Amino acid sequence: MAALGDSGGLGGQGGHIGPPLQEYAGPLRHVWYCYSPRMPAFDRDAMLAQLLAPGEVWDILVVGGGATGLGTAVDAAARGYRTALVEGHDFAKGTSSRSTKLVHGGVRYLQHGNVLLVLEALRERGRLLRNAPHLVRDLAFVVPSYDWWEGPFYGAGLKLYDLLAGRMGLEPSHLLSREETLDRIPTLEPQGLRGGIVYQDAQFDDARLAVTLARTLLDLGGVAVNYAKAVGLLKESGLVRGAVVRDEETGAESAVRARAIVNATGVFADDLRRLDDPESPPVLAPSQGIHLVLDRRFQPGASAILVPHTDDRRVLFAVPWQDRVVVGTTDTPVAERSLEPRPLPEEIEFLLTHAARYLTQDPKPADVLSCFAGLRPLVRGRTAEKTAALSRDHTLLVSPSGLITITGGKWTTYRRMGEDATDKAALVAGLDERPCPTADLHLHGWTEEARSGSAWAEYGADAPALARLAAERPDWDEPLHFNLPYRTCEVVWAARHEMARTVEDVLARRTRALLLDARASAEIAPAVAALLAAELGKDEPWQRRQVEAYRELARGYWLE
């Protein structure tokens, strides 16, 4: 193990900067919703100082800042446990910024007969719509039918989907005539079309929900630090009692002590398990899924398309999102795990071919504004061979050392995963039993009048503060690029209030510029680097390195 810094190396600022934790031990609905000068800063230096405060022993330390880790940390902090989270790169850098952006029960899992999984996910869909209305909205999906049997067959399945949603249900599904189908999706291939079925599900912005969860954690008195990687585990009498955390910005390593450690590192979960026990067998079989992002002219209607059976017998989505269309996805078993997985040529070909089959305009590689890949942290089954057949349900494992690993699942069920992981962590650490309040917990930015579609709607209750920031300097209200929906002040906001540390953090996850138009995002990298440098106190060589690194990354997102 490398030399450890003192646990309080940056010391002097330990303790809470939020309100006393006891306030959160009972049922709670929401905490600070909107920016005020009294709001604790989501500032990395302050967070790191709290994480490493001398003598600090956290109740629960969560490793991994994707959907699962953030969901767990929010759950634990909401119960009043002293909670910290460390993320080795940026929040949602892994799979959690690379989803299809659906909050859904999963129509496909019904086809596989996994009714309980669908039931749970539909319940969570309802909760997310209630608790984060600024980030989640319902969306109509059309299943086109080209064969006589498809209408009644899928119609019956979707009725069951409605039924399972129960009182959390959205508008009921119904059959559409050929004309009604084309009204909703004017660019749907008309040849052979008989009609369709429309049903409701929901959609969101995955990386922004992740940042919102990190902000919620802060509101609850917890600590979250990005660019802080767990590189070792601390043990006492064979039991895990903390982690060695490396500050990826300085290289300094420190011991962080905790009563329970939750491994929520997604497809990297086996790595941490091996740090605990080099003999532990792998539990994950990652599977890659890619998406193509196209201009809205390919699908100008307000509804999404669900193709119920592709050539490899899966479903395919073409979803309007942020004034683009997201087409996906694939399911390709992969051996290598990476934070920047690359789409394979055959996956791109597969999506282009299927999109061309169902849309009147055939998209070509040059039409692809961005192409992104993500890795599903699927849990191995004993007999399953194809990853499409592996469990989408989540798995909770407790190692003999007490290390708790939570993996699998979906973004939609992150809260439920967090609840289960916290229950287990409390048990392992011998903490007081406390009820889980997150089913009704409003997330940071929640507002009565969440207005999807209006300017900065996704910032929720923080939107007025952002508007005030935009008014501070004339150039801060300027668009960053004519083909992107972002303004200069959002870069400043991301640095000041959302712990953005790099050009990539801003362009890939605080805004979604990288996914909406990878080339345009590369063009504005220098402007973003300059703004960030002013906020973070960085020099010109830093800016140059940032721009170079970002452009290199963005080149992997366009096709020609």
Give me the least distance between CB of 303 and ligand FAD, in Å please.
Answer: 16
Q: Rule CB under 6 A: is residue 229 a binding residue for ligand FAD?
A: yes
Judge residue 304's burial from the number of C-beta atoms within 10 Å of its C-beta, 0-12 exposed, 13-18 middle, 19 or more buried.
buried
Q: Which residue has the tokens 């086109």?
A: 144
Q: Taking the mean position of all CA atoms in its chain, how far away is CA 386?
A: 25
Cα separation, 450 vs 465, whole angstroms:
15
Helical ranges in 166-245 per DSSP H:
178-184, 206-219
Which lies closer to ligand FAD via its Cβ, residue 66 or residue 222? 66
Region near ligand FAD per CB under 6 A, out of 22-30, 172-180, 373-381, 457-465: 373-381
Q: Rule CB under 6 A: is residue 341 a binding residue for ligand FAD?
A: no
Count CB-CB contacts under 10 A for residue 49. Answer: 21
Contact code string over 248-267 relative to ligand FAD, x by CB under 6 A: ----------------xxxx
Q: Taking the mean position of all CA atoms in its chain, how far away is CA 316?
A: 20
Question: Residue 217 half-sphere exposure, CB side, CA atoms within 13 Å?
Answer: 36
Contact code string over 153-192 relative to ligand FAD, x by CB under 6 A: ----------------------------------------
Q: Rule CB under 6 A: is residue 230 a binding residue for ligand FAD?
A: yes
Q: Rule CB under 6 A: is residue 272 a binding residue for ligand FAD?
A: yes
Q: Which residue has the tokens 């849990």?
A: 379
Give me the least distance between CB of 345 and ligand FAD, in Å please.
Answer: 17
Burial 172-201 (b: 16+ CB within 10 A, else e): ebebbeeeebbebbebbbeeebbbbbbbbb
Contact code string over 11-50 relative to ligand FAD, x by CB under 6 A: ----------------------------------------
Q: Which of 35, 161, 199, 268 binds ligand FAD (CB under 6 A)?
A: 268
Give me the least distance between CB of 267 and ligand FAD, in Å please.
Answer: 6
Which lies closer to ligand FAD via its Cβ, residue 92 or residue 522? 92
Cα separation, 90 vs 517, whole angstroms:
21
Q: Which of 7, 50, 83, 99 binds ligand FAD (CB under 6 A)?
A: 99
Cα separation, 501 vs 506, whole angstroms:
8
DSSP 15: S
Helix (H, G, I), strand (E, B) or coil at 38: coil
Q: Rule CB under 6 A: is residue 375 a binding residue for ligand FAD?
A: yes
Chain residues 59-98 in contact with ligand FAD, contact rule CB under 6 A: 63-69, 86-89, 93-96, 98
How many amino acids of this chain bind ligand FAD (CB under 6 A)? 40
Residue 126 tokens read as 């309802």
Count CB-CB contacts under 10 A for residue 131. Answer: 20
Q: Rule CB under 6 A: is residue 242 a binding residue for ligand FAD?
A: no
Q: Return the C-alpha torsion angle 276, 281, 282, 283, nearest 10.
A: -100
Contact 503, 546 (CB under 8 A): yes
Judge residue 256's burial from the number of C-beta atoms within 10 Å of its C-beta, 0-12 exposed, 13-18 middle, 19 or more buried.
buried
Give me the least distance between CB of 29 and ligand FAD, in Å please.
Answer: 24
Q: Which of 329, 332, 438, 521 binds ligand FAD (CB under 6 A)?
A: 329
Contact 197, 176 (CB under 8 A): yes
Give me the least distance between CB of 43 and ligand FAD, in Å please.
Answer: 19
DSSP 266: G
Which lies closer to ligand FAD via its Cβ, residue 102 or residue 182? 102
Question: φ and ψ at 483, to 5 degrees?
Answer: -105, 15
Which lies closer to ligand FAD via its Cβ, residue 63 or residue 425? 63
Which lies closer to ligand FAD via its Cβ, residue 139 or residue 522? 139
Q: Rule CB under 6 A: is residue 142 a binding residue for ligand FAD?
A: no
Count CB-CB contacts under 10 A for residue 277. Answer: 13
Contact code string over 274-313 relative to ligand FAD, x by CB under 6 A: ---------------x------------------------
Contact code string over 397-436 relative to ligand FAD, x by CB under 6 A: ----------x-xxxx------------------------
Q: Rule CB under 6 A: is residue 517 a binding residue for ligand FAD?
A: no
Q: Rule CB under 6 A: is residue 512 a binding residue for ligand FAD?
A: no
Which lies closer to ligand FAD via its Cβ, residue 128 or residue 495? 128
Residues 6+ apart with CB under 8 A from 148: 194
Give me the least distance between CB of 443 and ligand FAD, in Å please.
Answer: 16
Q: What is the DSSP string of 454-516?
A: STTGGGGGGHHHHHHHHHHSGGGGSBS-TTS--BHHHHHHHHHHS---SHHIIIIIIS-HHHH
State the first-to-last Cα distance of the chain, in angstroms, to the nearest integer: 45
Residue 173 identity = S
CB closest to ligand FAD, residue no: 66
Give me the least distance between CB of 333 and ligand FAD, in Å please.
Answer: 12
Which lies closer to ligand FAD via its Cβ, residue 60 or residue 264? 264
Q: Which of 102, 261, 463, 553 binds ligand FAD (CB under 6 A)?
A: 102
Cα separation, 335 vs 284, whole angstroms:
10
Which lies closer to ligand FAD via its Cβ, residue 59 or residue 205? 205
Q: In the complex, which residues of this chain contact ligand FAD (CB under 6 A)? A: 63-69, 86-89, 93-96, 98-102, 229-230, 264-268, 272, 289, 329, 339, 374-377, 407, 409-412
